[in-house]
Structure 1
Amino acid sequence: MQLASMIFDSSQYWLRNAHIPASIVVGGTKWTPRKPPEDHLLSVDLEIVEGSIATIVSAGTYTRYPHPSMDLRGGIVLPCFVDLHTHLDKGHIWNRAPNPDGTFESALNTVKADAAKNWSADDVYRRMEFGLKCSYAHGTQAIRTHIDAFGEQGEISFSVFRELREKWSDRLTLQAVCLVPLDYFLTSDGEKLADLVADSHGILGGVAYMNPDIEAQIDRVFTLAKDRKLNLDFHTDETDDPHSMTLRYVAQAAIRHKYKGKVVCGHCCSLSVQEDAEANQTIALVKKAGVGVVSLPMCNLYLQDRKPNRTPRWRGVTLLHELKQAGVTVAIAHDNCRDPFYAFGDHDAFEVFNLSVRIAQLDRPYGDWVNAITSNPADLMGLSNVGRIGVGLPANLVLFKARNYSELLSRSQHDRIVLRDGKAIDATLPDYAELDDLARSS
């Protein structure tokens, strides 16, 4: 590690014998691999100059290097991660507000009660920043968080978000989405919330439930967004009810409004329990509308199809393969962390990818599925230079000792090295004890 530290302190150095996924290489970088890449992993040498990637060549192109170099011995190098869907304001309340039975309804009620008692500005700030510390240490570069935004709580939490966004601006790109049921936007308070989101340079969003007024609710959100030039991000179909089709309604509204902004829909669970013809009709509309889809495999695996004393039959994951094959931009993300909606997690996007490969069978071939935690969510966040590797881009990289996907996904990779602008960061995770006094709040 001492040698590594000396290398990363240099203004110019080489990373030799690295494996990088072909799908995340951009910027016109071209070379001819010496042999067909296994699992779409290219064997390369990267030159880092003043914090940026200056050169990418096939591994072994040069026999001598004029600057310090580090032999990665075939280790995988990924760009820093992008977490498209989180709930930082809910995070780390489990110790004081555990879910009594693990169900979705209990999660809603438990969070509501905890928020009413405890969600002061200080409480929300400290828990949100704890999540940021974890994300940064694990190698995440950009995060979009949903924020519960009813009435006064919206003012409190968005104020905290703006403060943290400024404080962390040199390390993380942060975006915020308001979270309320869509009928809230049919009220005057809903219009005030849209103004708050606009003033905070946020994204307009909410939870879409099937109800007789769903089309009017979605139309209202689109109108508010167009008037304020806001992007949109919805929770849709987080249920095993095959009759839930709010994703389709969002796609139809985007087409009907000729909406030019970015639209993301999260969860979309019911798509996987519908008949193929029904699901395919929705997928075609989603593609036509240019809607991006983000799946939350860990949280949905935890919540969906949970009934007392019964083994779950269903994984809760949307039709990732079918959406991707149709040309829809798909991403995967962490969602909740140590709160009543998901009892576990550590804001580690790599863990999300690792478990998602198993849950949704994103292997054989691995292909470009790694883009689902890198370039795809970056594109949906409007971050064109994030989540990819290319000449001229900042050296924001995560270095692993693992040489192939089998090795990468078989261990936790706790010894990864995270580079930001070519420098190794302190990847020490925050101590849970930092939040001990909040666990005693009431």
Structure 2
Amino acid sequence: MTYSFISPPNAARFVLSNATVPAVTVEHVDVPVTEGLATVDIVISDGMIAAIRPAGAAPADYARTDLRDGMVWPCFADIHTHLDKGHIWPRQANPDGSFMGALDAVRADREANWSAADVKRRMEFSLRSAYAHGTSLIRTHLDSLAPQHRISFEVFADIRDAWKDRIALQAVALFPLDAMADSTFFTDLVTTIRRSGGLLGGVTRMGPELVWQLDTLFRTAAEHGLDVDLHVDETDDRGAETLKAIAEAVLRNGFEGKVTAGHCCSLARQDEDTAARTVELVAKAGIAVIALPMCNMYLQDRNPGRTPRWRGVTLFKELAAAGVATAVASDNTRDPFYAYGDLDPVEVFREAVRILHLDHPLDTAARVVTTSPAAIVGRPDKGRIAAGDPADLVLFSARRWSEFLSRPQADRVVLRRGKVIDRSLPDYRELDSVVGA
């Protein structure tokens, strides 16, 4: 059991008193809010949140833990990850930290090593870490070139069922849209996605076939009732405008499903007028955008012997201001695309605040790893603190933003249905027989 700053009562009914909550995560509570934070009492009964009341207003006869203004967050939503790639770094490192180096390294490792047993071991290790950190919802992209699509989606379906009471899981097929030209493969991929309850995804690139690819993608998604989640413009090339093309395709085809775009890095490299027109189209098309600040800052503008000149992230604030649904996520974990990370949304949030300048003010910043990502993936019941919901909460000793963002919050307490979970993280040595030391 890891060290925790407090021990909530082991009782059927209890109160978390004097809890500081991000106001954006709490519904139907009329209390004063300062810097986006409110102080409340959270009443828990039989694993559910029974009530949220102003501080000091909870029933006096309940067992209680006084948090002394410590923060309470809902469990997190991490909606752009790569569980199938996770933790291969010891076995297949990126030789130069570049995007192309990552592509080549992952391709080599996938073709040599990604059996069902290999993928399962690494995915489960990642999920144990995410669960210990306080995550209850994950969407992962799965590399889906043949024959890997069948292997990974079958493993995913088994893991999703095994983990359904701990982490809600979604999966997206990731493949270069060029591969759609092989109709036999694409038909089989769609069948695999439907059988596994997944989403249609892909990587978009500029080219003469892009319009056909996008029209085919959205027509296929509409025909089979699939939502779409794409990797978009992960480059510093100002000429990469597939985000614009995606928005145009959504509107042209009248696609009514959910569409999510991850990365969208090149948008931040374009001139103001060009970027503004694309942002307007994205808003009109109803596309959600996910920023991946840690991975994008790691990969983008990396050149040997040269200091990077930009942070690699998309126009997050401009998109949000235009009404686009936005969130941040972990992306890769200890693989050639990002050598670090542990699927910890607290780390993701802390770095997003720094990289994207989500502070000054921080009033609604907590939404980017809670309510916003949950809503984007169709699970508005997650990432919030609401009466009638399961008491899936993360407790922190930090009382204000400066305290929260200055330390890793390693002593946090995670409650699932009102019970404290064991937050012990899996030992990397468990993977030595899979990926090496």
Matches of 1:240 and 1:401 in 2, distance apart?
Answer: 40
- 1:352 matched residue in structure 2: 348
- 1:380 matched residue in structure 2: 376
Offset from partner CA, 1:25-74 (integer Å, 9 cap, x none)? 12xx23242xxx32110011110011111111111235x61110000010
What secondary structure, in the 3-state scheme, does the structure 1 residue paired with 2:38 have? strand
Shift of 1:195: 1.3
Pairing partner for 1:133 from 128, 147, 159: 128
Matches of 1:59 and 1:30 in 2, distance apart?
Answer: 11
Question: Does structure 2 retain, via aligned residues, the 8 Å contact 1:191–1:224?
Answer: no
Query: Superposed, which structure 2 residues align to 1:281-430 within 5 Å?
Result: 281-430=277-426
- 1:17 matched residue in structure 2: 18
Aligned positions, number: 434
Question: Does structure 1 retain, via aligned residues, the 8 Å contact 2:292–2:329?
Answer: yes
Shift of 1:2: 9.8
Matches of 1:71 and 1:306 in 2, distance apart?
Answer: 48
Matches of 1:232 and 1:207 in 2, distance apart?
Answer: 11
- 2:50 matched residue in structure 1: 54
Shift of 1:373: 0.6
Shift of 1:261: 0.9
RMSD (Å) for aligned C-alpha atoms? 1.4
Question: Does structure 1 retain, via aligned residues, the 8 Å contact 2:31–2:39?
Answer: no
- 1:65 matched residue in structure 2: 60
Shift of 1:106: 0.7
Question: Does structure 1 retain, via aligned residues, the 8 Å contact 2:4–2:411?
Answer: no
Q: Output the amino acid matched with 1:272.
A: A
What secondary structure, in the 3-state scheme, does the structure 2 residue paired with 1:389 have? coil
Matches of 1:118 and 1:53 in 2, distance apart?
Answer: 45
Pairing partner for 1:121 from 112, 116, 122: 116
Q: Give me the TM-score of the superposition, normalised by structure 2.
A: 0.97
Pairing partner for 2:98 from 85, 103, 123: 103
Q: Does 1:176 align with 2:171?
A: yes
What secondary structure, in the 3-state scheme, does the structure 1 residue paired with 2:147 have? helix
Compare 316-325 and 180-189 and name the one that shifted more: 180-189
Shift of 1:125: 0.4
Shift of 1:179: 0.6
Pairing partner for 1:205 from 191, 201, 211: 201
Question: Does structure 2 retain, via aligned residues, the 8 Å contact 1:89–1:157?
Answer: yes
Matches of 1:181 and 1:387 in 2, distance apart?
Answer: 31
What secondary structure, in the 3-state scheme, does the structure 1 residue paired with 2:65 have? strand
Question: Does structure 2 retain, via aligned residues, the 8 Å contact 1:396–1:419?
Answer: yes
- 1:434 matched residue in structure 2: 430
Q: What residue ranges of structure 1 are gaps of 5+ in the alignment? A: none
Matches of 1:224 and 1:92 in 2, distance apart?
Answer: 33
What secondary structure, in the 3-state scheme, does the structure 2 residue paired with 1:313 have? coil
Matches of 1:32 and 1:308 in 2, distance apart?
Answer: 53
Question: Does structure 1 retain, via aligned residues, the 8 Å contact 2:297–2:312?
Answer: yes
- 1:45 matched residue in structure 2: 41
Matches of 1:295 and 1:160 in 2, distance apart?
Answer: 27
Percent of aligned pairs with the same amino acid: 50
Pairing partner for 1:85 from 65, 80, 83: 80
Matches of 1:39 and 1:357 in 2, distance apart?
Answer: 15
Q: Give me the TM-score of the superposition, normalised by structure 1.
A: 0.96
Shift of 1:392: 1.1
- 1:192 matched residue in structure 2: 188
Deviating 4+ runs (over 6 angstroms) = none
- 2:256 matched residue in structure 1: 260
What secondary structure, in the 3-state scheme, does the structure 1 residue paired with 2:84 have? coil
Matches of 1:230 and 1:18 in 2, distance apart?
Answer: 40
Question: Does structure 1 retain, via aligned residues, the 8 Å contact 2:177–2:203?
Answer: yes
What secondary structure, in the 3-state scheme, does the structure 2 residue paired with 1:409 have? helix
Query: Superposed, which structure 2 residues align to 1:139-150 within 5 Å?
Result: 139-150=134-145
Matches of 1:57 and 1:115 in 2, distance apart?
Answer: 51
Q: What residue ranges of structure 2 are gaps of 5+ in the alignment? A: none
Matches of 1:56 and 1:356 in 2, distance apart?
Answer: 29
What secondary structure, in the 3-state scheme, does the structure 2 residue paired with 1:39 have? coil
- 2:159 matched residue in structure 1: 164
Question: Does structure 2 retain, via aligned residues, the 8 Å contact 1:91–1:131?
Answer: yes
Q: Output the amino acid matched with 1:150.
A: L
Pairing partner for 2:228 from 229, 232, 247: 232
Question: Does structure 1 retain, via aligned residues, the 8 Å contact 2:204–2:231?
Answer: yes
What secondary structure, in the 3-state scheme, does the structure 2 residue paired with 1:247 have? helix
Shift of 1:438: 1.2
Question: Does structure 1 retain, via aligned residues, the 8 Å contact 2:129–2:343?
Answer: yes
